[in-house]
Amino acid sequence: APHFLDDHTLVVAVSYSGNTEETLRSLKSALKLTNSIVTITSDGFLEKTAKKYSLPTYVLPSGRPPRTALPQMMIALLWILEKSGLYKFPIEEAKEAISLLKELRKHYVANPEPLIELASKISESLPLVYSYWPYRYVGYRFKTQLNENAKIHAFWAPLPEANHNEIMGWEGRLQANYHPVIIRDEQEEDYLRYRIEYLKNLLRSRGISYSEVFTKGRTRLAKMFSTIFTLDLVSVILALKLGVDPLPVSTISGLKSYLSTRIDPKEYSEI
C-alpha cells in the first residue's frame, strides 16, 4: 500500500472471491496505516479479515465467475463513494443503464447478426482493441474477456496514448493477421475523431480490415455498460465458434494451485 495513506484516505479493498493475493497483501499493509477501509467481496479471506477488524463490507452474491460480477462491483463502489461523501450516486444513469440493457438483451436475441459478424472477423485474426476515455477500460475489459472466455490472445491500446508509440507498429513488418476493433462514441471530441480518421486511413493503406463499435445510450454509465454487455456477448459467441467452453479458466486455476505450493498462504491469510 502507498506510504501516504492515513485516516483521511479511503481504501477500498476489492476481491470477488475474497482470496485474491494482491488485494490481501495490499490490505495487510494498509491496515498498518489507516482505519478508513471498506471491502467489497463475496467470501474468502477478505470477508474473514473484514469481520476480524470490523471493516464495513459490501457483500456480493457468491458462486459465479468473478468477471460476471462486474456490474455489482461497480455499483458497490459507487455506493461506497456516495456514503463517504466523495461522489453522488448517479441514480438516473443507473436507471437508464438497466433499462437499456433489458432492451439490448431482447434486441440481440432477435438480431444477433452484428455480434456474430464481429466474432467471425476476430476468429480469423489477432484482435487489437483501441479505446479512449471514458471508455478506455471498456476496451481493456473486452481484451480480457477475449482472453478468458474465448481463450485467445488479444491486445489493447488506449487512445490517444497509442498515437505516441503503438501506432509505429503499423509501419513495420506485420507479424500477424490483425483485426483492430475501435470503440467509439458518436459524441467524441474532435481531437479524438481526427486521430481515429488518421488511424483508419493508415490501416486501409496497409490493407487491414477493422471494426468500429459505437456506444449506445444517453448517459456515461449507460454507454459503458451497454458496450461492455455487447462485447461480452461477442467474446462468448467467439468461444462457441471456436469450440471452447467460455466458463472455466483452467490455466488461471493451475497458476493458483502452483503458487499455493510455493507461497505460504499465512503470508496474506493471517492478517
Give the pLDDT confidence score for residue 260 in this predicted structure. 83
Which helix (H) or strand (E) segment is 156 a member of? strand 155-159
Question: Is residue 83 assigned to a domain?
Answer: no
How many structural domains does the chain have? 1
CA–CA gap between residue 65 and residue 16 (Å, rounded): 9
∠ Cα 162 167 172 (to 5°): 150
Which residue is it, cell 485516516? 7
Give the pLDDT confidence score for residue 270 in this predicted structure. 64
Q: For each of the chain's 271 residues, which pLDDT tens digit applies?
A: 677 888 889 999 999 999 998 999 999 999 999 989 999 999 999 999 999 999 999 999 999 999 999 999 999 999 999 999 998 989 999 999 999 999 999 999 999 999 999 999 999 999 999 999 999 999 999 999 999 999 999 999 999 999 999 999 999 998 889 999 999 999 999 999 999 999 999 999 999 999 999 999 999 999 999 999 999 999 999 999 999 999 999 999 999 889 888 877 667 666 6
Give the pLDDT confidence score for residue 39 in this predicted structure. 97
Question: Is residue 54 assigned to a domain?
Answer: no
Residue 150 structural domain: 105-242
Question: Is residue 24 assigned to a domain?
Answer: no
Question: Is residue 109 assigned to a domain?
Answer: yes
Question: Is residue 72 assigned to a domain?
Answer: no
Question: Is residue 166 assigned to a domain?
Answer: yes
CA–CA gap between residue 13 and residue 67 (Å, rounded): 17
Say how many CA atoms lie within 13 Å of 266 toward its Cβ: 1
Which helix (H) or strand (E) segment is 95 a member of? helix 91-110
Helix axes 220-242, 136-150, angle to 10 degrees: 20
Question: Is residue 75 assigned to a domain?
Answer: no
Give the pLDDT confidence score for residue 17 in this predicted structure. 94
Which SS3 state, helix, strand or coil, does residue 161 take?
helix
Cα–Cα distance list, 93 to 59, 74, 224, 226, 269 (Å)? 23, 13, 11, 12, 38
Give the pLDDT confidence score for residue 2 in this predicted structure. 77
Question: Is residue 25 assigned to a domain?
Answer: no
CA–CA gap between residue 119 and residue 125 (Å, rounded): 10
CATH code at position 186:
3.40.50.10490
